[in-house]
Amino acid sequence: MNNTVILRLIIILIPGIFLNACSNESANSGQADGSRKPTDNQRIILFYRHPMDPKITSKTPKKGSMGMPYIAVYEKRKAKKKVILFYRHPMDPKITSKTPKKGSMGMPYIAVYAKGSSDDADGDDVVKISPNIVNSMGVRTAQVVRGDLSRKIDTVAFVQFDEDKMLQVHMRAKGWIKNLKVRSAGERVTKGQILFEYYSPDLVNAQEEFLQALRSNNSSLIRASRSKLLALDISTQQISKIIKQRKVNQLVQVYAQQSGIVSKLNVREGMYVRPHTRVMTLADLSTVWLQVQVFESQSNWVKIGQTAKVRIRYLPGVILTGKVDYIYPMLDVKTRTLQVRLRFNNPQEKLKPNMYAMVSIDAKAEENIIIIPREALIRTGKEQRVVISLGKGRFTARKVRAGIESGEQVQIIKGLNEGERVVTSGQFLIDSEASIKASITRMTDAKDDSSSKAMSKTASPNMKKSMSDKALPVNPINKKTVNN
């Protein structure tokens, strides 16, 4: 009888003990799973994929045949709900409105979102604009590329006389101009042509001394007096004429030493001149110079021997090709430009002095550099920035360091990567919006930090202890405080 009762009790108690153990096991497993539940700041890993072939996946971390670890694929987060605080004027952030509206110029007010919403998840300097506003602003973007930037110098030049073929006419004895053959500047003369006749008492005395030496038949006196005539710029033909005629010429003829034009005429008929007086200037136009003005920022690009192409409106459709002949060692004080000289043959005299020309000099190209359109670069005086397009109407401003400029392109030394997109139109308004947003955020964060520091200084020890107790972690299963 006793054995039967004991057996029945065992049969009744065994299912209860089994159920209780199962419930405890499930509770413990629930606690373990709950402890591994990701927090709001953690991301859930779905699986791992091959680094080279995304079709090959694994549930656990592993490495491929080449030793490369598999890449974790995370679960996508749901975007937080956007909370609009107010709307502000697009040009003046002090003007706000609780409802959407437009300004006096028809520009819609910009929504300001609460911190922590989806618009602020990208950062304090990220600006988000709706597609409609992007289209109305005419925002255009361009891709950041890596390549070669040809340093092309486009500038202006002026045709000038070849100074190597200019002749100044001076007299070596004081006297008077007689029988001036050239009446105005610009007249053309040929070599050996009489320019004018000249009366000088010093030249007359020198001729008389030479005749006396000839009469005395003294070779030393003849040599000395002949040398004096040559020093006074009397030609050998005129000396031979004096020897032949045995007569003093009161008027001495002055001949052109080269062909060309009279670029300057500083005397008139009967004018008294001295040795320092410049009578006239003769210029040969068979070759001319082009004085090119190169900007100071491009002065390091130009080198002697580089090819230059010249276009002149006087000769439409004609491109003249030359080379850099000389680089002047100083800059022009007024224009702040470097003077560069090109030399051109001018047999038909199509190039005339003081003509205006457009010059293009091909300098050595910079290779394998980051390049963006020049209009995308924002210069503030203290720094240089660009506006980056992050996609889906999101933009941010970034500091960069620019290098050389050539044509419509500019080099970026630091701050951009190949493949990014920069804004080339409408970037100034976006940049100002990003600057305002970042400034407001910094001001708000500074106020919050100062308030928290003040509270921490004034809080009592008991208050700090109660705050620390409230900050203890909570078990997500049974909602009990977990003490370490």
With contact defined as beta carbons under 8 Å apart, do 51 and 71 qualify? yes
432 within domain boundaries:
no
If asked whether residues 263 and 182 sit together in one domain, one would say yes
Query: Do 93 and 115 fall within a single domain?
Result: yes
Domain assignment of residue 331, yes or no: yes
Higher local confidence (pLDDT), 461 or 108: 108
Is 327 contained in some domain?
yes
Higher model confidence: residue 116 or residue 278?
278
**Taking the model in full, what pTM does it have?**
0.53
**Listed ranges 111-120, 273-282, 361-370, 453-462; the one with the highest mean pLDDT:** 273-282
**Residue 234 sits in the same domain as residue 293:** no
d(CA 341, CA 319): 17
pLDDT in tens, 144-153: 999 888 788 8
Asked whether residue 72 falls in the same domain as residue 84, the answer is no
Say which range, 18-22, 72-76, 414-418, has the weakest mean pLDDT.
18-22
Residue 336 has pLDDT above 60, yes or no: yes
Contact present, 79 and 70 (Cβ < 8 Å) = no
Whether 298 shows a pLDDT value over 60: the answer reads: yes
Q: How far apart are CA 91 and CA 110, in angstroms?
A: 10
Question: Domain check: are 183 and 265 in the same one?
Answer: yes
Work out the average pLDDT over 410-419. Answer: 89
pLDDT attached to residue 23: 40
The full DSSP string for 81-142 is PP-EEEEE-SS-TT-EESS--B-TTSPBPEEEEPTTSGGGTT-TTEEE--HHHHHHHT-EEE
In a domain, 225, yes or no: yes
Whether residue 424 is predicted with pLDDT greater than 90 in this model: the reply is no
Q: Is residue 411 part of a domain?
A: no
**Residues 355 and 271 reside in one and the same domain:** no
CATH of the domain at 342: 2.40.30.170
Number of domains in the chain: 5
Q: Say yes or no: 33 and 109 in one domain.
A: no
Are 88 and 6 within one domain?
A: no
Residue 433 lies in a domain: no
Residue 217 in 3-state DSSP? coil
Q: Are residues 229 and 204 in the same domain?
A: yes
Among 319, 394, 469, smallest CA distance to 139 is for 394
Mean pLDDT of all residues belonging to the chain: 79
Pair (347, 315) in one structural domain: yes
Q: Are residues 180 and 249 in the same domain?
A: yes
Q: Which of 243, 276, 309 is the last residue of a domain?
A: 276
In this prediction, residue 14 carries a pLDDT of 52
Say whether both 228 and 272 belong to one domain: yes
Rounded mean pLDDT, 436-445: 49
In a domain, 265, yes or no: yes
Task: Give me the pLDDT at residue 341, please.
Answer: 95
For 89, other C-beta atoms within 10 Å of its C-beta total 18
CA distance 238 to 63: 105
Are the C-beta atoms of residues 175 and 271 closer than 8 Å to each other?
Answer: no
Q: Is residue 54 part of a domain?
A: yes
> Is the CB of residue 437 less than 8 Å from the CB of residue 423?
no
Domain that holds residue 9: 1-37
